[in-house]
Chains A and B, each alone.
Chain A
Amino acid sequence: MEVWTRLRAKSGSTAKDVSELAALLAAALIAGLFERLIPFDFAVPGVKLGLSNAVVLMSLYLLGAGRAFMLAVLKCFAIALVSGDWAAFMYSISGSMMSFFAMLMTKRALGGENGASPIGVSAVGAVFHNIGQLLMAAFILGSLNVMAYLPVLAISGIITGILVGFIVKFALPAVKKARRSARG
């Protein structure tokens, strides 16, 4: 008990915070794995919905930057652990990091009362996820030629980003309400 109190003082996390993060991680994991089941063969590899990003974006609004960042990192590890696809992990982690910081900056700089809603933030995040993935691919292939995929990926990212943004925008009030009553 004493150890826990000390840990808590250090990290500022309560048991509720930890379990909340775990629940969100589980949600992101399910979203990410579910998405892999959808065959989504477009003109360019890497086109996908980005459902697990909905959870990251939501936690950015619910829990703030620090915990949302933890979730973005843990999500990539969790999906790779469960799916066993460690080749995809390289791309997902670089995409997630780019996407996270792009969303954070967009939210901070352009968000606010009359500013960007989760829809705009999500669209930016989706495009930067693709940019991060392509940079990793360019690094692995040792050639920037792979950037030829960027326009198609960016436009598909804008579309899926807007969809994910709508999900977050409409789910956020309900999740906030549930969170208030759960945390008392």
Chain B
Amino acid sequence: MKRMDAIIIAALLFLSLAAFAGIQILGGAGGGKDEPARVFVYVDGELRETVVLNSQVQEIEIRTPYGVNTLIAYPDGVKMKSADCASQTCVHTPKRIYSGGVIACLPHKLLIRLEGRFDGGVDAIAS
């Protein structure tokens, strides 16, 4: 490992962290503290559905021209339950709990995006 390698790796790390910060800021911008957490469902790049998270566990079936996915919206996040595709990549994607988090299902051209914070959800359970 030479000095130039260390410089390159440091630069890459810095850029990754900068991208992370940028996405956090951009992702957080849409959902203020008072806004409820929402899940946006995009198919083919177009907004199909918006789900507001509440204290219930909601199961949402998404039918795309390419296949069917089942999404679960928890009070504190969102996860893909099932997909009728071969890869199952989106099903293995862990639960998204942060604003700006996405779950992508490439074979079905489906994108799930979470926006907002979850204080409301937690409070709703407590009260």
Check if A and B associate. yes
Chain A positions within 8 Å of B, measured between CB atoms, are 41, 43-45, 87, 91, 106, 110, 114-117, 119-120, 123-124, 127, 137, 140-143, 145-151, 154-155, 158, 162, 165
Cβ–Cβ contact B46 & A43, under 8 A: no
A-B contact pairs, 24 of them (CB 8 A): A45-B93, A87-B87, A106-B8, A114-B3, A114-B4, A115-B2, A117-B1, A117-B5, A119-B5, A141-B110, A142-B46, A142-B109, A143-B45, A145-B102, A145-B111, A151-B16, A151-B20, A151-B23, A154-B12, A154-B19, A155-B13, A158-B12, A158-B13, A158-B16
Cβ–Cβ contact A141 & B1, under 8 A: no
Cβ–Cβ contact B16 & A155, under 8 A: yes
Residues of chain A with a CB closer than 8 A to B106's CB: 87, 91, 137, 140-141
Q: Select from chain A the residue with minimum beta-carbon distance to B46.
A: A142
Contact of B9 among A120, A141, A145 (CB under 8 A): A120
State A1–B1 Cα separation when bound (angstroms).
Answer: 48
State A119–B8 Cα separation when bound (angstroms).
Answer: 9
Residues of chain B with a CB closer than 8 A to A115's CB: 2, 4
Q: A44-B93, A120-B2, A154-B16 are in contact. List 12 more A-B contacts (CB 8 A).
A: A43-B93, A43-B94, A110-B4, A114-B3, A117-B5, A123-B12, A124-B12, A141-B106, A141-B109, A143-B42, A154-B15, A155-B16
Contact of B104 among A45, A158, A165 (CB under 8 A): A45
Cβ–Cβ contact A110 & B113, under 8 A: no
- How many A-B contacts at CB < 8 Å in the complex? 103
Residues of chain B with a CB closer than 8 A to A116's CB: 2, 4-5, 8
Q: Select from chain A the residue with minimum beta-carbon distance to B92.
A: A41
Chain B positions within 8 Å of A, measured between CB atoms, are 1-5, 7-9, 12-13, 15-17, 19-20, 23, 27, 42, 44-46, 87, 89-90, 92-94, 100-102, 104, 106-107, 109-111, 113
Residues of chain B with a CB closer than 8 A to A151's CB: 16-17, 19-20, 23
Q: If A116-B4, A120-B4 touch, does A140 touch B9 (CB 8 Å cutoff)? A: no
Nearest-CB distance from B25 to chain A (Å)?
12
